[in-house]
């Protein structure tokens, strides 16, 4: 969307453009429950026709009573009319309930349907999208749409109902005096323009405030989360956080008040105008009745129709303007659905080779993160042979994790290419490729689910509840030493992990990591990658885990990223990365003999252990 236009006409243009999203919304609404939507619409259409029917019947009744006082007998059907009026009123009450019923059903279905669409779409997107803050704003707003936009759908139904009611009532007024109708319509327009204008300013303000609100959210989470509690206490940070929160929310508050105030000042006179028009018409009708030109029944019908029509017309405008404004919000949802992944399988993608015959080759691979000029990798050449265990070392920020992201096609190289068995990675099916690579990232996930599920998620496509692969899960837990952790859990494999939900047991970093490791083992992947897995392990667990990893990957393809030389030594080949390039390469003995960077780093670390 264009950045928050401020002038009146600009704002209207943007609003009308946003209406083009309505058909897509209607589609989503329909898909979330065709029967419910039809039921709601049918009730609304019937309700819309009730007012004119009621007025018609009561006109008959009043006219008959008036005639009765003038000496005529009551018509034979008189009491039937009274009964009909009662029946219509009851029918209206029932329909009102029915609308409420369908609306609440639809609201549940719609938010479920949109939540699922958002989750499904989000899962297809590139990692780079998530690391982009503009996208995060969009995702944030899209996520809110899922639950918030139901008002718009009800508004769509309402506007239909109001239009039909206004039309039927207007026909009655028109039958009496076309000018009366015109007066009413004209009176409503200023109020409508005022309303929508301020609604738009409100939206523009919301868009502007999104970054601030994200900050507020962050502060709120920071100020009340388990992760931050330790530092918060020690640094006595909470006063500072509360201060920042107050400062930012005051900023938002100030803007909100200013819009509300303007809306009150300018919106009120405009809506008064409509009231004047209504009472003008009312007075005119009374005047003619007093003069004897209209019957009581016509007076009743017209005043009722004028009140009803003017109310409905006003409501149409305000409902419509709320639809237009809501559809501006919808622009975010639509934009979000329009973000397409760049990293995806080609149409006739190759299956990943099984077994891999040669291995991976980086050919002059350069990479810069989107939105950044700096080359994290600079014409890198690297081979990972099929039965080779490679260790990658280098200081922080040298691009080690980036290499893993490229291998797994979370990103594609900016220049150069990566080959698997001599074929560009981009030729293979992404899903297939992921199936052949098991990765444990530095920032691996801690699933707040059962111990079993924490492992089973690695092959959740195979068996969603993990039951069918129970043996495989136990084996993976055994390999990763997670079974030792599980043996100590009160409920074993069924133990809920993490503290988020009641009954959960939290684990130490190293224990969580064993679960991450078990997931990698469960995948039965041909390439195993451990990205600085030692960070949260104590020395003894580390040597256990790596001893095992070494055994398990004997003669297999593995990539190990670590700072600890005790770990690195076991690799068949060690690669030293600096400034996005390989500066040294060889076995431990060779690199020590070389006496350069690796040997220096090794000496330094060995000295610290002596």
Nearest approach in angstroms of CB 365 to ligand ADP is: 13
Q: How far is the CB of 216 from ligand ADP (least distance, A)?
A: 24
β-strand pairing of 377-385 with 557-561: unpaired
The partner in contact with residue 572, picked from ligand ADP, Mg ion, none with C-beta cut-offs of 5 to 8 angstroms by kind, is none
Residue 342, Cβ density class (10 Å: 0-12 exposed, 13-18 middle, ≥19 buried): exposed
Residues 402-461 that bind Mg ion (CB under 5 A): none
Candidates 154-162, 203-211, 392-400, 548-556; binding stretch for ligand ADP (CB under 6 A): 392-400
Among 372, 502, 589, 608, binds ligand ADP (CB under 6 A): 372
**Helices within 293-409 (DSSP H only):** 296-338, 400-407
φ/ψ (deg, to 5) at 393 = -125, 165
Distance CA 389, CA 391 (A): 7
Nearer to ligand ADP, 406 or 497 (CB): 406
- Cα 196 from Cα 194, distance rounded (Å): 6
Token readout for 277 is 């028009």
Q: What is the DSSP string of 181-222?
A: HHHHHHHHHHHHHHHHHHHHHHHHHHHHHHHHHHHHHHHHHH
397 sits near ligand ADP (criterion: CB under 6 A) = yes
Only one of the segments 158-166, 179-187, 293-301, 393-401 lies at the binding site for ligand ADP (rule: CB under 6 A); that segment is 393-401
376 binds, among ligand ADP, Mg ion, none (CB under 5 to 8 A by kind): ligand ADP
Q: Which residues make beta-bridge pairs with 586? A: 574
Using the minimum distance from each CB to Mg ion, give the nearer residue, 400 or 514: 400
Stretch that binds ligand ADP, among 396-404, 450-458, 467-475, 550-558 (CB under 6 A): 396-404
The distance of closest approach from Cβ of residue 560 to Mg ion in the complex, given in angstroms and rounded to an integer, is 12
Report CA-CA distances (Å) from 132 to 2, 9, 65, 396, 430.
19, 32, 74, 22, 22
Alpha carbons within 13 angstroms on the beta-carbon side of residue 284 total 16
Among 399, 435, 438, 533, contact with ligand ADP (rule: CB under 6 A):
399
Neighbours of 456 (CB within 10 A): 28
Q: Minimum distance between the CB of residue 204 and ligand ADP, rounded to whole angstroms?
A: 30
Site string for Mg ion, 349-388 (x = CB under 5 A): ----------------------------------------
Helix, strand or coil, per DSSP, at residue 158: helix
Least gap, CB of 559 to Mg ion (angstroms): 12
Nearer to Mg ion, 206 or 531 (CB): 531
Instruction: Say if CB 277 and CB 180 are below 8 A apart.
Output: no
Please name the residue that has the structure tokens 């003038």: 70
Strand partners, 234: none
Q: How far is the CB of 440 from ligand ADP (least distance, A)?
A: 13
Residues 6 or more apart from 594 whose CB is under 8 A from it? 584, 586
Residue 442 is encoded by which pair of tokens?
């530095």
Q: Which of 70, 338, 396, 608 binds ligand ADP (CB under 6 A)?
A: 396
Each residue 127-156 as x (binds ligand ADP by CB under 6 A) or -, in order, gives ----x-------------------------
d(C-alpha 532, C-alpha 512), whole Å: 14
Residue 15 binds which one of Mg ion, ligand ADP, none, with CB within 5 to 8 A depending on kind?
none
**Is the N-terminal amide bond of 355 cis, ω within 30° of 0?**
yes
Closest C-alpha to 453, from 438, 463, 439, 443: 463
- Write down the least CB distance from residue 132 to ligand ADP, Å: 9
* Span interacting with ligand ADP, options 163-171, 228-236, 331-339, 390-398, rule CB under 6 A: 390-398
Nearest residue (CB) to Mg ion, 15 versus 405: 405
Residue 600 interacts with ligand ADP (CB under 6 A): yes or no: no
**Which one of Mg ion, ligand ADP, none is in contact with 129 (Cβ closer than 5 to 8 A by kind)?**
none
Beta strands 377-385; 359-367: pairing state: antiparallel
Contact mark string toward ligand ADP, 400..439, x via CB under 6 A: xxx-------------------------------------
Asked if residue 401 binds Mg ion (CB under 5 A), the reply is yes
Angle formed at CA 608 by CA 603 and CA 609, multiple of 5 degrees: 100
> Is the Cβ of residue 545 or residue 561 nearer to Mg ion in the bound state?
561
- Total of residues contacting Mg ion (CB under 5 A): 2
Contact 190, 269 (CB under 8 A): no
If the CB atoms of residues 17 and 579 are measured against ligand ADP, the closer one turns out to be 579
Q: Distance between CA atoms of 496 and 498, rounded to whole angstroms?
A: 7
Which residues form the interface with Mg ion (CB under 5 A)?
400-401
Which residues form the interface with ligand ADP (CB under 6 A)?
131, 369, 372, 376, 394, 396-402
């Amino acid at each position: 969307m264009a950045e928050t236009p401020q002038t009146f006409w600009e704002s209207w243009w943007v609003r009308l453009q946003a209406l083009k999203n309505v058909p897509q919304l209607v589609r989503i609404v329909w898909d979330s429950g065709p029967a419910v939507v039809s039921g709601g619409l049918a009730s609304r259409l019937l309700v819309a026709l009730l007012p004119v029917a009621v007025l018609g019947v009561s006109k008959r009744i009043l006219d008959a009573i008036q005639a009765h006082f003038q000496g005529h007998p009551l018509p034979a059907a008189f009491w039937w009319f009274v009964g009909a009026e009662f029946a219509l009123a009851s029918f209206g009450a029932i329909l009102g309930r029915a609308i409420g019923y369908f609306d609440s059903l639809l609201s549940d279905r719609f938010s479920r349907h949109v939540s699922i669409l958002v989750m499904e779409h989000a899962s297809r997107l590139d990692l780079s999208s998530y690391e982009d803050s503009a996208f995060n704003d969009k995702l944030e707003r899209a996520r809110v749409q899922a639950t918030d936009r139901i008002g718009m759908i009800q508004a769509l139904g309402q506007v239909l109902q109001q239009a039909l009611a206004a039309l039927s009532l207007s026909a009655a007024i028109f039958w009496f005096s076309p000018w009366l109708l015109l007066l009413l319509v004209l009176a409503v327009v200023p109020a409508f323009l005022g309303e929508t204008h301020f609604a738009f300013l409100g939206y523009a303000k919301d868009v502007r405030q999104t970054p601030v609100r994200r900050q507020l959210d962050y502060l709120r989470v920071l100020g009340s989360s388990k992760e931050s509690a330790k530092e918060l206490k020690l640094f006595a940070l909470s006063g500072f956080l509360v201060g920042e929160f107050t400062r930012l929310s005051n900023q938002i508050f100030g803007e909100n008040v200013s819009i509300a105030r303007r809306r009150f000042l300018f919106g009120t006179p405009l809506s008064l105008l409509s009231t004047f028009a209504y009472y003008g018409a009312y007075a005119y009708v009374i005047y003619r009745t007093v003069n004897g030109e209209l019957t009581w029944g016509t007076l009743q019908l017209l005043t009722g129709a004028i009140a009803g029509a003017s109310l409905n017309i006003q409501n149409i405008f305000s409902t419509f303007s709320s639809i237009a404004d809501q559809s501006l919000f919808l622009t975010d949802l639509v934009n979000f659905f329009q973000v397409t992944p760049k990293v995806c399988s080609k149409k006739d993608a190759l299956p990943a080779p099984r077994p891999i015959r040669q291995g991976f080759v980086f050919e002059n691979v350069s990479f810069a993160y989107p939105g950044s000029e700096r080359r994290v990798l600079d014409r890198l050449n690297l081979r990972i042979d099929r039965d080779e265990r490679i260790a990658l070392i280098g200081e922080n920020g040298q691009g080690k994790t980036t290499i893993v992201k490229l291998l797994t096609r979370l990103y594609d190289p900016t220049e150069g290419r990566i080959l698997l068995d001599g074929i560009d990675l981009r030729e293979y099916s992404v899903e297939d490729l992921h199936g052949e690579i098991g990765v444990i990232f530095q920032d691996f996930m801690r699933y707040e689910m059962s111990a079993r599920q924490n492992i089973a998620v690695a092959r959740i496509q195979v068996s969603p509840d993990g039951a069918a692969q129970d043996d495989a899960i136990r084996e993976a837990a055994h390999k990763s030493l997670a079974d030792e952790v599980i043996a100590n859990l009160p409920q074993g494999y069924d133990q809920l992990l993490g503290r988020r939900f009641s009954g959960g047991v939290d684990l130490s970093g190293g224990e969580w990591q064993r679960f991450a490791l078990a997931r990698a083992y469960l995948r039965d992947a041909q390439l195993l990658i451990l990205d600085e897995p030692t960070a949260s392990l104590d020395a003894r667990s580390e040597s256990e885990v790596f001893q095992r990893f070494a055994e398990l990957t004997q003669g297999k393809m593995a990539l190990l990223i670590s700072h600890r030389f005790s770990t690195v030594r076991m690799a068949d080949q060690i690669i030293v990365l600096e400034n996005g390039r390989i500066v040294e390469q060889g076995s431990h003995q060779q690199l020590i003999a070389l006496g350069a960077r690796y040997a220096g780093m090794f000496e330094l670390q060995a000295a610290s252990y002596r």
